[in-house]
């Protein structure tokens, strides 16, 4: 018995040593003697510290940090500092070793990285909300990008070995990977990571489709190889003639990307021809790169006819994550479309290994430092003191920090770089926050545009300001950059505070009259009763008369110089208040949007059994695709599938999501908000719109706000409709009006 234990212990020791040898072989950069010693020391420390732990699969735990270090070396190309930190990444969290020990043994830098990694991990353990988590990931990112790169390697190894985890954990990890790590990998140019993240999470979430595509790829492999050879054969002679070393090969596309195509194009696997791309990688000195790549392009297109619209030149203008390559699609044998990627070894390494490789080649390519610029914009949002984690995440996602950029120009011809999707108002805030605050009109290429106008590459902008202008809440919908959003939000906050002060004073006077002594507890009780999120919101509501003081005192009264709530029964005995005030609190009044009694099936059962409300962030209308989300205190909330909050909810609280389907209710009534923009060509616009809606379409308008600006108007109309058909008809009909240029449903 004991012999068996020792035998397996010896086996395990061998396994661990073998893994370490593999790590050493994977290191490509030359190591100093000190590096080697430190690495050995880190390895030994990890082995002894984790000696009592096992992974879910039963393996010795230390194989995990060794594998993570190997990924760092082999697949990201990181150097000794990061490799040592990777070996130690779970030591402080899981064992008796302290950060101080690490610092004494390996120095400040490595201790800092390990600390960053430990903090990231503990954030997961306490299951803190995802947004907070994400903010942490990014704060460490701007401090030392290696922390995030090691974290990526950690995540990748955990995904590769995920099969020993229980199903529900797998799903959570997959959602989190799609939510944070996949877009981050994209932004850091770690394409291989991104592909593997997507493939593995698909395997978890859609195992049947995954295995089916994998099987079909396997079955068609021989045909594909034959085809690739047929494609390459006529090219090789001409490529040889160039006298430049090159590699040419077919690269299969990822299972996820094939599946994506099947879904989006609605074609069966058998009809997808671009299951692979041809890649040609040339080995040339930096000053010859562009010339030779275009020479290769010319050789390829001499043999195979190109489709000119599919030409993408990311060599002249690289992508904002540093990607450089020349892509084209040509018509290959049998008339099939084949994508060809042309690049140099340097470009290939950057494309495969991202960030680390990029820094290695810093200064080689002529492109401005795309990473620095991106990190700056991340820093900018992180440093905004007014944004909390959830807002931050929204900013981050909508700010398109993951996406590409556009180039626009000032009247003097200076180039300004903004994220794709940025608006004219974003531009104004980018120039200067004061220009943003006081912006009254913007012209693009000498034509006046609405402030929310989406910019295109090459636009030239001019901003008109007026010192009396100031931001309002609606402006938040007209910008996408974090900077503009933060500035508008803080201006709004300031405004609310100032105006709220007047509301507060009114309330103070009233409480004084009633001889209520303690102001704070009284206000606290009101905030709670009406469900405001802060005192300022209450004061502001009083100021704007959304909630009047007489209304408040239908629910509260004085007793022993204290504020007490009037019980429900007593309130009901009181005379019925006039319509439009009283019984319903301000909050309920605005929330009570659904007038008819719409019915839903929740998880296949009649929804009457549940308490449910319609989410106000997306205002679902009968006919929309919806899901139910179980809130912690307010029953079920029905959201639209494409609600801006949906991804977040599904990623983080998957266990609270329920299926919801409509039971068609003919007389139900839903609120739908539409935004209308157009040209204000006289006083008749409002009449035109209301006439169309009320008289011609027979719909009720719940509220209507419109604002004109320099010949443009923008209005928000809240309509009562029975279902999405009715809403779509209304949108179409409004669109047909002369002066209307766009009608969109507000998401």
**Minimum distance of Mn ion from residue 62's CB (angstroms):** 11
Contact residue for Mn ion among 43, 80, 90, 338 (CB under 5 A): 90
Question: What torsion do the CA atoms of 414, 415, 416, 418 make, to the nearest 10 degrees?
Answer: 160
The rounded Cα 189 to chain-centroid distance in angstroms is 16
Cα separation, 362 vs 346, whole angstroms: 11
- Using the contact rule CB under 5 A, the part of the chain among 87-95, 332-340, 426-434, 489-497 near Mn ion is 87-95
**Cα 73 from Cα 31, distance rounded (Å):** 12
Give yes or no for residue 154 binding Mn ion (CB under 5 A).
yes
Q: 644, 676 in Cβ contact below 8 A? A: no
Instruction: Please say which residue, 43 or 323, places its beta carbon nearer to Mn ion.
Output: 43
Residue closer to Mn ion, measured from CB, 90 or 459? 90
As a dihedral over the C-alpha atoms of residue 142, residue 145, residue 148, residue 153, rounded to 10 degrees, the angle is 170
**Given the complex with Mn ion, which of 90 and 680 has the nearer CB atom?**
90
Round to whole Å and give the CA distance between 547 and 340: 64
Report, in Å, the least distance between residue 65 CB and Mn ion: 7
The smaller minimum CB distance to Mn ion, of residues 92 and 507, is found at 92
- The reply to whether 67 sits near Mn ion by the rule CB under 5 A is no
Identify which range of 41-49, 83-91, 183-191, 542-550 contacts Mn ion by CB under 5 A.
83-91
Instruction: Indicate which residues carry an active-site annotation.
Output: 93-94
Q: To which residue do tokens 């510290």 refer?
A: 49
Q: Are 413 and 465 in contact (CB under 8 A)?
A: no
Min dist CB 164 to Mn ion, Å, is 14
Angstrom distances, CA of residue 93 to CA of 119, 134, 370, 709: 9, 19, 34, 58
Residues 6+ apart with CB under 8 A from 60: 12, 15, 16, 50, 51, 53, 54
Q: Using CA atoms of 638, 639, 641, 644 in order, give the dihedral in degrees to the nearest 10.
A: -170
State the first-to-last Cα distance of the chain, in angstroms, to the nearest integer: 67
Residue owning tokens 């604002």: 707
Nearer to Mn ion, 74 or 352 (CB): 74
| Cα distance between residue 500 and residue 492, in whole Å | 12
Q: Binders of Mn ion: how many residues, by CB under 5 A?
A: 2
Return the beta strands (E) in 576-669 as ranges: 599-602, 605-606, 612-614, 626-630, 636-640, 657-663
Q: Which stretch binds Mn ion (CB under 5 A): 11-19, 52-60, 149-157, 408-416?
A: 149-157
CB 193 within 8 A of CB 185: yes
Buried b / exposed e over 3-19, threshold 16 CB at 10 Å, is eeeeeeeeeeeeebeeb
Span near Mn ion by CB under 5 A; candidates 5-13, 88-96, 584-592, 736-744:
88-96
DSSP 132-145: HHHHHHHHHHHH-H
Minimum CB distance to Mn ion, residue 628 (Å): 35
Stretch binding Mn ion (CB under 5 A), from 84-92, 97-105, 425-433, 632-640: 84-92
Is 46 near Mn ion (CB under 5 A)? no
Q: Is 67 or 479 the residue whose CB approaches Mn ion more closely?
A: 67
* Shortest distance in whole angstroms from residue 90 CB to Mn ion: 5
Decide: is 426 part of the binding site for Mn ion (CB under 5 A).
Answer: no
88 touches Mn ion by CB under 5 A? no
- Transcribe 224-265 into DSSP letters: HHHHHHHHHHHHHHHHHHTT--EEEEEEEPPHHHHHHHHHHH
Of 152-160, 599-607, 644-652, 660-668, the window that binds Mn ion (rule: CB under 5 A) is: 152-160
Least Cβ distance, residue 54 to Mn ion (angstroms): 14
Verify binding: residue 324, Mn ion, rule CB under 5 A: no
In whole angstroms, what is the distance from residue 670 CA to residue 722 CA?
6
Nearest Cα to Cα of residue 175 among 143, 197, 145: 197
**152 versus 621: smaller Cβ distance to Mn ion:** 152
Long-range contacts at 162-170 (CB < 8 A, ≥ 24 apart):
162/200, 162/204, 164/55, 164/56, 164/57, 164/58, 165/56, 168/655, 170/204
Tell me: does residue 63 bind Mn ion (CB under 5 A). Answer: no
Residue whose CB is less far from Mn ion, 154 or 624: 154
* 86 binds Mn ion per the rule CB under 5 A: no
The residue range among 153-161, 210-218, 327-335, 438-446 that interacts with Mn ion, by the rule CB under 5 A, is: 153-161
Residues 656/629, Cβ–Cβ less than 8 Å: yes
Cβ at position 155, least distance to Mn ion in Å: 8
What separation in angstroms does the CA of 334 have from each of 258, 273, 343?
21, 11, 26
Residue 176 in the binding site for Mn ion (CB under 5 A): no
- Within 10 angstroms of residue 184's Cβ, the number of other Cβ atoms is 23
**Quick one: 90 or 182, whose CB is closer to Mn ion?**
90
Q: Which is nearer to Mn ion, 173 or 618 (CB)?
A: 173
CB of 151 to Mn ion, least distance (A): 9
| In the complex, minimum distance from the CB of residue 271 to Mn ion, in angstroms, rounded to a whole number | 42
90 vs 395, beta carbon nearer Mn ion: 90
288 neighbors 365 (Cβ within 8 angstroms) = no
Candidates 77-85, 89-97, 130-138, 429-437; binding stretch for Mn ion (CB under 5 A): 89-97
CB of 93 to Mn ion, least distance (A): 8
Residue 327: CB minimum distance to Mn ion, A: 36
Please state, in angstroms and rounded to a whole number, the distance separating the CA atoms of residues 649 and 639. 10
Interacting residues toward Mn ion by CB under 5 A: 90, 154
């Amino acid at each position: 018995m004991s012999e068996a234990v020792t035998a397996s212990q010896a086996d395990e020791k061998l396994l661990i040593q073998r893994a370490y040898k593999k790590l050493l072989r994977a290191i490509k950069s030359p190591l100093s003697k000190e590096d080697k010693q430190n690495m050995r020391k880190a390895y030994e420390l990890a082995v002894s510290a984790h000696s009592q732990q096992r992974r879910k699969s039963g393996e010795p735990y230390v194989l995990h940090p060794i594998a993570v270090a190997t990924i760092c070396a082999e697949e990201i190309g990181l150097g000794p500092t990061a490799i040592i930190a990777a070996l130690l990444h779970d030591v402080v969290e899981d064992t008796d070793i302290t950060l101080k020990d690490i610092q004494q043994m390996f120095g400040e830098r490595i201790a800092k990285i390990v600390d960053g990694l430990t903090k990231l991990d503990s954030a997961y353990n306490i299951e803190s909300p995802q947004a907070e988590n994400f903010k942490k990931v990014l704060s460490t990112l701007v401090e030392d990008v290696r922390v995030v790169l090691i974290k990526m390697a950690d995540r990748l190894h955990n995904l590769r070995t995920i099969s020993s985890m229980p199903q529900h954990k797998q799903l959570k990890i997959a959602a989190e990977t799609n939510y944070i790590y996949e877009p981050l990998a994209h932004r850091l140019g770690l394409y291989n990571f991104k592909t593997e993240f997507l493939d593995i999470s698909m395997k978890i979430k859609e195992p049947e489709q995954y295995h089916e595509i994998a099987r079909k790829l396997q079955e068609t492999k021989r045909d594909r190889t034959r085809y690739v050879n047929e494609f390459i054969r006529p090219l090789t002679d001409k490529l040889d003639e160039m006298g430049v070393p090159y590699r040419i090969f077919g690269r299969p596309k990822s299972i996820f990307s094939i599946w994506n195509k099947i879904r989006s194009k609605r074609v069966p696997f058998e009809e997808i021809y671009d299951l692979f791309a041809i890649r040609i990688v040339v080995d040339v000195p930096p000053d010859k790169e562009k010339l030779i790549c275009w020479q290769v392009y010319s050789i390829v297109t001499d043999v195979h006819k190109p489709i000119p619209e599919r030409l993408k030149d990311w060599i002249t203008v690289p992508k904002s994550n540093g990607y450089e390559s020349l892509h084209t699609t040509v018509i290959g044998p049998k008339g099939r479309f084949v994508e060809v990627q042309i690049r140099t070894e340097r470009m290939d390494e950057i494309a495969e290994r991202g960030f680390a490789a990029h820094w290695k080649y810093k200064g080689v390519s002529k492109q401005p430092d795309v990473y620095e610029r991106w990190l700056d914009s991340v820093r900018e949002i992180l440093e905004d003191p007014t944004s909390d984690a959830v807002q931050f995440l929204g900013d981050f996602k909508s700010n398109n920090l993951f996406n590409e950029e556009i180039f626009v120009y000032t009247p003097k011809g200076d180039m300004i770089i903004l994220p794709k999707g940025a608006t004219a108002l974003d531009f104004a805030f980018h120039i200067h926050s004061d220009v943003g605050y006081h912006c009254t009109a913007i012209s693009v290429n000498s034509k006046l545009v609405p402030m929310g106008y989406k910019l295109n590459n090459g636009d030239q902008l001019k901003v008109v300001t007026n010192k009396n202008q100031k931001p309002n809440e609606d402006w938040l919908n007209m910008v996408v950059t974090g900077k503009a959003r933060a500035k508008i939000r803080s201006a709004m906050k300031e405004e609310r505070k100032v105006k709220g002060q007047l509301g507060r004073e009114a309330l103070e006077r009233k409480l004084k009259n009633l001889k209520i002594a303690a102001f704070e507890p009284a206000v606290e009780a009101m905030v709670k009763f009406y469900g405001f999120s802060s005192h300022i919101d209450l004061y502001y509501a009083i100021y704007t008369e959304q909630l009047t003081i007489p209304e408040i005192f239908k629910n509260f009264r004085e007793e022993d110089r204290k504020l007490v709530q009037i019980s429900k029964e007593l309130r009901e005995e009181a005379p019925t208040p006039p319509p439009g005030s009283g019984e319903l609190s301000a909050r309920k009044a605005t929330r009570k949007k659904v007038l008819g009694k719409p019915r839903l099936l929740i998880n296949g059962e009649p929804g009457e059994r549940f308490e449910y409300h319609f989410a106000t962030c997306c205002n679902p209308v009968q006919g929309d695709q919806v899901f139910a989300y179980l809130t912690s205190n307010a029953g079920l909330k029905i959201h639209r599938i494409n609600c801006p909050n949906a991804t977040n909810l599904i990623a983080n609280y998957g266990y609270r999501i329920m299926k919801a389907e409509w039971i068609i209710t003919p007389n139900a009534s839903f609120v739908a908000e539409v935004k209308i923009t157009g040209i204000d060509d006289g006083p008749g616009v409002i009449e035109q719109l209301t006439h169309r809606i009320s008289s011609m379409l027979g719909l009720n308008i719940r509220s209507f706000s419109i604002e004109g600006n320099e010949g443009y108007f923008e209005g928000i109309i809240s309509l009562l409709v029975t279902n999405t058909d009715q809403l779509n008809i209304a949108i179409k009909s409004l669109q047909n009006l002369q002066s209307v240029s766009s009608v969109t449903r507000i998401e």
